[in-house]
Chains A and B, each alone.
Chain A
Amino acid sequence: MGKNKAEKVTDDKVEVDNGDDVWWWLICRSIGASFLCISVFALLVRAAVSLHPYSGAGNPPKFGDYEAQRHWMEITLNLPAKEWYHNSTINDLSYWGLDYPPLTAYQSYVHGLFLRSFDPDSVPLFTSRGHETYLGKLLMRWTVLSSDALIFFPAVFGFVSVYHTSRSSSRKTDIVWHIAMLLLSPCLILIDHGHFQYNCISLGLTVGAVAAILSQKELVASVLFTLALNHKQMSAYFAPAFLSHLLGKCLRRKNPLLEVSKLGLVVIGTFAVIWWPYLHSTDAIFVVLSRLAPFERGIYEDYVANFWCTTSILFKWKRLFTTQTLKIISLTATVLTCLPSMVQQLLAPSSKGFLYGLLNSSLSFYLFSFQVHEKSILLPLLPASLLALEEPRPFKWLTHLALFSMFPLLCRDKLVLPYVALYALFTLLYHAPGRCSGRSKRSKTDYSSVASIMTGLLYLCSFILHIVYLTMRPPEKLPFLFEAVIMLLCFSQFMLFAFYTNAKQWLLSKHSTTVKEKKHI
C-alpha cells in the first residue's frame, strides 16, 4: 500500500510538472520508452538517408569510401590476417589499402561474412572491384545501420541515463531533447549513412567510455576507449582528455601507483588481444603502424578548416618545411594547445570538466594536428553534443559550422537533398516548441545582443555562401575560391569556439572552488 501511495504521489508530481508541456505524450512513461521512440525515429531517418547515393557511386576507377569499405571486406575475407596490411601481389595497397587499426579489419571481416552469405558476388578477391549493385548497396547500408543500432544507440542510452542521474536539474523534457540531439546529429548521419563510413562504431565506443567514466567505472572505460582507438586512430583526438582525467583521478586516491598500473595493464591487455596476429615480430607491428600514419599524404588535404590549411594561404607550409619538420611542428602545436585543458583535469578532475576536456582536446587536434580530414569535425562535435544541455547555443553553432565545412564534400557525393532535409530536421528539433523556457532566459543573459547580431550575420553569410556554391561557378583563375571562403569562415569560428570552451573549462574549476569555499564558510 505504501508503495502504491508513493507511486501516486510521483504520478501527481509528474502531472504538475507536465501541466503545460506539449511533450506530455512522449515523456509520460520511463526514459527508456521515450528513448525507444526517438531511436526508432532516428533509425527511420538513417534508413531514409541510406536511399541516397554514397561517395564515389558510379565513378571508376577509384570510386570512394564505399568501395574502400567493400574492398576491405574483400581483403579481410579472402586473405589471412597477416597479409591484411602487407603490400603484395594479392593485396595491392595502392588501391584502398587498409589504413585503419585491426578492429576495423575485424569489423570488415564480420560484415564481409554477412555480405558473402547474401550476395556472394560482392566480395570475391580481385573480381569484385568496383562492385555496385542494388543488393550490394542495400547490404552495405544495412551493415552501417546495424552497427549504429547495436553500438552507438546503446552507448547513447547508457550515457544519457548516467549523465542525467548525476545532473539534478534535468527535467524529463530536457532529457528527451538531449536524446534527440545525440541520435539525430545531422553530420554523423550524413557521413555514415550518406557518404558511407563506420564512424558510429568508434564514436559509439567513445560515448560508452564516457558513460563508464561518469559512472566511475574506470576499467570499463579504458577497455572501451582502447577499442575505439583500435577502430579508428582518430579517436586519439580524445586521448589527452581521457589520460588527464584518469590520471588526475588516480592521483587523488590512496594508492596512485597501483591505480595507474591497473589501468595501464587493462589498456595493454586490450591492445594485445586486438593486435595478436601482428605481435609475432616487431616488423609486422611497424608495417601496420606505418599504414595507420600516412605521413606521405602531406599536412593537409583538400580544404579542411584547420590551422595549417587556412594559414597556407599566407605561408606555403609544404614548401617552407620538410614533412619531417612539419610533423614535429604540428605535434608541438597540438600538444601545446591541449595542455591547458589537460592541466585543468589533472588539478581538478570532474565529470563536467572531463566533457569540456574532450571537446577541447579534440578541437585542438582538429585544428593543429597532421593530416586532418573534413570529416574529422565529427570528433569535436561529439563532446559538444554530449554537452548540449550545458551549452545549447554554442552546440547549435558548432553543428551548423561542421555541416557547412563538409558542404563541398557532400555536394561532390550528391547529398545536397539529405543535407538540406537533415539540417532542417536538426533546426526543427533544436527549436522544438515548448522546450524549457527557463533555460532560454538564462542563456539570453549569457549572450549579449552584439554577439547575437554577429551570429545572425554569420548565419546569413553562410546561407548566401550555400546558395552561391550551388548556383555559381568560380572564376577560372581561382577554381577553389568558394571552398577557401567557406574554410576561412569555419576556421575563424572554430578558433573562437576553442577559446571559448577552454575558458569555460577553466572557469568551471574556479567556480567549483568558490562554491566549495562558500560551503566551508
Chain B
Amino acid sequence: MENQNPPNSTSKLLLWFFSISACVKLLLIPSYHSTDFEVHRHWLALTRSLPLSNWYSDETSPWTLDYPPFFAYFERSLSLLAHLVDPRIVDVHNGLEYKATSVIYFQRISVILSDLCLVYGVYRLTKNLEVKRRDLMWVLVVWSPGLMIVDHIHFQYNGFLLGWLLLSISCLQEGKDLMGGFLFAVLLCFKHLFAVAAPVYFVYLLRHYCWKGFVRGFGRLSLIGAVVVAVFTAAYGPFIYHGQIQQVIRRMFPFGRGLCHAYWAPNFWVFYIILDKVLSFILRRLGFGIQIPAASFTGGLVGDSSPFAVLPRVTPAATFIMVLLALSPCLIKAWRNPRPGLIARWIAYAYMCGFLFGWHVHEKAALHFVIPLAIVAAQSLEDAKHYFMLSIVSCYSLFPLLYEAQEYPIKVMLLILHSILMWLGFSALFNDKSVSKAANKKKGTQLEVKGSSERGGFVMGWVGKSYLFGLLIVEIWGQFLHPYFLGDKLPFVPLMSISIYCALGIMYSWIWQLSQIV
C-alpha cells in the first residue's frame, strides 16, 4: 500500500483536509463562546502573572484552575505569546472578562493550531492502513462535528488532547508499549478526565509489556513504573515542593458538584432519576407519604441533601465502583488476550463506561469515545453501522451547548454534513467491497470474511432508521412545537427529552460494544 501512495502525497491529502476545516474554523471565530473562553483566558493570566505556588490557590476569578499541571504549563507557554499580542490578555485583574478582538483571535487561533496535534495523531495511527479506510478515518476525525462544536464554537482544547490520546494508541498498536504508556501518563497530567482508561492501560501494559518471564518482566515493570513516576514528578513535583499538592488535588476533584450537570449528559443516571420520579409519583398516588426532595434535578445545581425521593442516594464511590464493574469484562479480555489491534476499541469502551456511569459527567466527554471509535469505524460493516448511529447521537447530544439562535443553522448543518459524509463514505467502502470481493477472494483475513458474509452493503435497519428519525422529532418538538403549544410551561422538558432520547442510543451503543468485546 505504501508503494501506491508515497508518504508525502498521502500526508498532503490529510493536510488538505485540515486546511479546509481550518478555513471553516477561522470563519467561526466571531461565533458564540461559552464561559470556558473566559476560563482559559483567566488561566493564561494566572500562569503568566502569578508565581507557580499561587496557581492553584488564587481566587481572583470564580474560574479557578482545575486542570492538572501540564495543562497549566501549556497555558503558561501560550501566555508568553499572548503577552506579545496584547498585554491585557494576561493581566489577572484588568483582564477579567476581557473581550477585545485581540484576545478572541489569539485564543481561537491557538485552538485551531493546536489541532495540528490531532492531525499528527491520526496520521501516525493510519499511515500503514489501506488507502480507502485511511481516507475515511481522516474525514471522520479531522472533520468531526463534535470537535467543531466543542472546541471551535463553545471553546476548549479537546482536539489537542485527543491528539495525544491517538498518538498513544498509535504507539500501542505499533507495539511501542513504553512510548504509549509514557504518552498516556503525559495526557493524564494534561487532563485527568482521561484517567478513566487508566485501568485498561494498566492491565494491557502489564500483560503485553511486562509479562515476559520473572526477571525481564520485573525489569520492564520497574522501567515503565519509573517512566510514569518521572512524568508525574515533572508535573506535580513543583507543587509538592511548594507544599501545594493538597490544594491542587482539591481543585482537580470537586466532588461537591453533584451527580449530574445542569443539563444531564445522556447517560445511565438519566434513567435512574426518571425511575425515581416515576416511583415516587406512583407511591404518592398509592398513599405513601413520600417527601418531595428539596433539591431537584430539573432546577439546576444540586446541594447537599439527597435529590432522590425513593431510590438510594448515589455517592461518588458508588459511581466509581459502577464504572469499574462495567469495565471489568474488558479488563478480563485484555488480560487474557492482549491484542494491539483491539486496544483502540477497549479504550473507547472505557471512556464510554466512564461517560455512562461516572460522577458529574459533562456531555462534552462524549468526544472521548467518539474520536477513538472513529479509528475502528471502518473495520467492518457492523462497526460502520454502529458508528454511524453513535456519532450522530453524540453530536446531537451536544446541541444544547449552543443554545443561541445565531449558531442554530451552523450546528444543524455540521451534523447533516457529517451524516452525509458518513453515509457516502461507508456506502462507498462497503458497497464497493462487495463487488471487488467477488473478483478476488484471495485475502482471507478475519475482517474480510466478516465483510463478505454481510451482503447488501451499508444500509441501516428499520430500528436504526426509526431511532434516528426520532431525533428529528425530538428536535422539532423541543425547538418549535414545545414553545408554540406550551409556551414557558415545563421549560425543562425539551432538554430532558434530548437527554433521555440520546441516552437510549448511547446505552444501546454501550451494550453493543460490550457484546463485541465479550
A residues contacting B by CB (< 8 A) are 8, 11-12, 15, 20, 22, 24-26, 28-29, 33-34, 36-37, 40-41, 43-45, 47-49, 51-52, 134-135, 138, 142, 145, 417-418, 420-422, 424-425, 428-429, 432-434
Chain A nearest CB from B50 CB (Å) reads: 33
Interface 9-mer from B173-181, B426-434, B442-450: B426-434
Q: Which residues on the A side are within 8 Å of B472 (C-beta)?
A: none
Closest Cβ neighbor of B439 among chain A residues: A12
Chain B nearest CB from A360 CB (Å) reads: 32
Q: Are A432 and B424 closer than 8 Å at their CB atoms?
A: no
Chain A nearest CB from B140 CB (Å) reads: 11
Q: Are B435 and A417 closer than 8 Å at their CB atoms?
A: no
Chain B nearest CB from A264 CB (Å) reads: 43
| Docked complex Cα distance between A142 and B408 (Å) | 11
Q: Which residues on the B side are within 8 Å of A434 (C-beta)?
A: 13
Q: Are A44 and B135 closer than 8 Å at their CB atoms?
A: no
Indicate whether A11 sits within 8 Å of B435 (C-beta atoms), given known contacts A29-B427, A434-B13.
yes
| Docked complex Cα distance between A20 and B424 (Å) | 18
Q: Are B420 and A40 closer than 8 Å at their CB atoms?
A: yes
Chain B nearest CB from A137 CB (Å) reads: 8
Q: Which of B29, B406, B432 meets A134, CB within 8 Å?
A: B406
Indicate whether A425 sits within 8 Å of B12 (C-beta atoms), given known contacts A25-B425, A37-B420, A43-B413.
no
Q: Which residues on the A side are within 8 Å of B425 (C-beta)?
A: 25
Q: Are A417 and B23 closer than 8 Å at their CB atoms?
A: no
Q: Which of A8, A20, A25, A37 meets B417, CB within 8 Å?
A: A37
Q: Which residues on the B side are within 8 Å of A429 (C-beta)?
A: 20
Chain B nearest CB from A415 CB (Å) reads: 11
Q: Which residues on the B side are within 8 Å of A432 (C-beta)?
A: 16
Q: Are A20 and B435 closer than 8 Å at their CB atoms?
A: no
Q: Are B23 and A25 closer than 8 Å at their CB atoms?
A: no
Closest Cβ neighbor of B435 among chain A residues: A11
Q: Which of B20, B26, B132, B429 meets A420, CB within 8 Å?
A: B26
Secondary structure class of chain A's binding surface, majority of residues: helix
| Docked complex Cα distance between A428 and B14 (Å) | 12
7 more A-B residue pairs beyond the given contacts A29-B428, A421-B23, with a C-beta to C-beta distance below 8 A: A8-B435, A12-B435, A15-B432, A15-B436, A24-B432, A417-B26, A417-B30
Q: Which residues on the A side are within 8 Å of B429 (C-beta)?
A: 25
Q: Which residues on the A side are within 8 Å of B436 (C-beta)?
A: 15
Q: Are A47 and B13 closer than 8 Å at their CB atoms?
A: no
| Docked complex Cα distance between A434 and B9 (Å) | 9
| Docked complex Cα distance between A422 and B482 (Å) | 38
Q: Which of A36, A47, A142 meets B420, CB within 8 Å?
A: A36
Q: Which of A51, A135, A138, A421 meets B31, CB within 8 Å?
A: A51
| Docked complex Cα distance between A8 and B437 (Å) | 13
Q: Can you report 30 A-B residue pairs in the complex whose CB atoms are below 8 A from each other?
A: A8-B435, A15-B435, A24-B428, A24-B432, A25-B135, A25-B424, A29-B428, A36-B420, A40-B417, A43-B413, A44-B414, A45-B27, A48-B28, A48-B410, A52-B27, A134-B406, A135-B405, A138-B405, A142-B409, A417-B26, A417-B29, A421-B23, A422-B23, A428-B16, A428-B19, A429-B20, A432-B16, A433-B9, A433-B12, A433-B13
Chain A nearest CB from B4 CB (Å) reads: 7
Q: Which residues on the B side are within 8 Å of A142 (C-beta)?
A: 409
Top 4 A-B pairs, shortest CB-CB distance: A28-B428, A48-B27, A25-B425, A421-B26
Chain B nearest CB from A186 CB (Å) reads: 10
